Amino acid sequence: MHGGLAGMMHGLASQDGVASDPLNRLDERGMDRKSERSGERGATRVRSRVTIRKDDVQVPAPFAYERATSVDHALELLERLGPEARLLAGGHSLLPMMKLRVAAPEHLIDLDPLAVQLGYIREQAGEVRIGAMTRHREILASDLLARRLTMFTDAERLIADPLVRNRGTIGGALCQADPAEDLSSVIAALQGRAVIRSRSGEREVAMREFHVGPYETVVGEAEMLIEVRVPLREGAGSAYEKVKRRAGDWAVAAVGAALWLSGGTIEGAGIGTTAVGGGVTSERAEAALVGERPAEEVFDRAAEIAAEDCDPVADQRGSVDYKRHLTAELTRRALRRAAARALGAEA
């Protein structure tokens, strides 16, 4: 488990009650630097002498750099280099944290060369499998996901901006475990699983159990996330609804809903919540839907339960009451759209 990152991020959060988005703090701390780059066998080491100073530029602490040539190579490096090594995927979360000195890994293991091997979205054995290095833009562009698991497409339309989506990966997003990250609740609502590999083998973990806390997952120090698997079921419809302050921003609150209908009755339901604390799902709201026929009063009840189950913090994005109100309203809207899609009434 990457407890170091979680510890550091908790520290950052507790300074001002902001539970996510270290990038918001980029202009609040600064540092002066002189750096030099020197080659070492098999690695590039960047050395910096740094004095932290407010309102100045920022550079990461010194680190050694390795490029993984295969999954096995990445795992071998993780095992050999130990807890001070960190995987680098798209770099959109890790590099800003390193510049802020919130993270200071001694070794970076670049996964970019694995973008082909681990960059895929395919249907196999009754599920959709998504490789850990699949970029946000590839998820957004996927016909398979748009047709069968539309919640992914809804969410990706609202994640960050094209610059971030071009580089950021599903593996990095899930392993960053930011409480405002969108794909965790999408996959949890859809009852997906994470495939985690180490040198001694592979294990699968339900996305509902993947997060240990903010910025903390069940992925161990010598393990990496390889793939995400989401089951495909008949009679399914899903949707994701998000409110954010401006284009490209993180969620104030967001909710994903999945419904599986059989003979007009809700046979199964998934509710995932983003940026509002509590668990990543509301199992009580899901239970309230099962066995019912899709209807406004049924959605209202589930929405009220989801709002009760969340546990938001007040921050620059809104008050606790506002976030609870959004959770209820977004649950209602996501359920309406999920039901319409399951019934073939909306694409």
Ligand X SMILES: Cc1cc2nc3c(=O)[nH]c(=O)nc-3n(C[C@H](O)[C@H](O)[C@H](O)COP(=O)(O)OP(=O)(O)OC[C@H]3O[C@@H](n4cnc5c(N)ncnc54)[C@H](O)[C@@H]3O)c2cc1C
The residue (of 244 and 336) whose beta carbon lies closer to ligand X is 244
**108 - beta bridge partners?**
65, 86
Task: Kindly report the three-state secondary structure assignment for every residue of 162-173.
Answer: HHHHHHCEHHHH
Q: Is 189 in the site for ligand X (CB under 6 A)?
A: no
Window 223-252: residues binding ligand X (CB under 6 A): 224-225, 248, 250
- Smallest distance from the beta carbon of 114 to ligand X, in angstroms? 9
**204 - beta bridge partners?**
195
Window 163-182: residues binding ligand X (CB under 6 A): 164, 168-169, 171-173, 175-176, 181-182
**281 - beta bridge partners?**
272
Say which residues have a Cβ less than 8 Å from residue 215's Cβ, sequence separation at least 6.
Answer: 2, 5, 6, 8, 9, 10, 176, 177, 178
How far is residue 212's CA from residue 94's CA, in Å, rounded to a whole number? 19
Q: Is 131 in the site for ligand X (CB under 6 A)?
A: no
Helices and strands (H and E) in the chain: how many: 12, 15
| Residue from 91, 113, 214, 235 in contact with ligand X (CB under 6 A) | 91
Window 20-59: residues binding ligand X (CB under 6 A): 23
Q: Is 140 in the site for ligand X (CB under 6 A)?
A: no
| Residue from 60, 64, 92, 208 in contact with ligand X (CB under 6 A) | 92
Distances (CA, A) of 52 to 12, 13, 16, 93, 263: 16, 19, 19, 21, 64
Q: Is 90 in the site for ligand X (CB under 6 A)?
A: yes
The residue (of 160 and 271) whose beta carbon lies closer to ligand X is 160
Residues at the site binding ligand X, with contacts judged by CB under 6 A:
5, 23, 86-94, 132, 159-160, 164, 168-169, 171-173, 175-176, 181-183, 219, 224-225, 248, 250
